[in-house]
Amino acid sequence: MSEFYEGMAEVLEVEVEQITPEFELKNVDWNSLAIVSTIALADECFGVILNGRALDLCKTIADIENLIAAKKA
């Protein structure tokens, strides 16, 4: 998971220490570019392709992790 958190920190332009499951996406620029980058990151780290609309509805990192877990199941 640390590779994913490092990637999310880069996508969201924050320090990696800030990325926790409770991190709220409303506190950063969670836009279409960030969503596309997150899709690519999930593919790279976990081999899953996430739905952009579903990602757009995410409020926290935990929500993104739940989408990844659902795709892996």
pLDDT along the chain (73 residues), means of 10: 93 96 96 97 97 97 97 90
pTM confidence score: 0.94
- Tabulate helix, strand, coil % of the chain (nearest 5): 65, 5, 30
What are the tokens at 11? Answer: 């996508």
**What pLDDT sits at residue 38?**
98
Q: Nearest CA to 64 among 16, 14, 19, 27?
A: 19
Per-domain residue ranges for the chain?
Answer: 2-72
**What pLDDT sits at residue 41?**
98
CATH of region 2-72, choose from 3.90.1150.10, 1.10.1200.10, 3.40.50.360, 3.90.320.10? 1.10.1200.10
**What pLDDT sits at residue 73?**
86
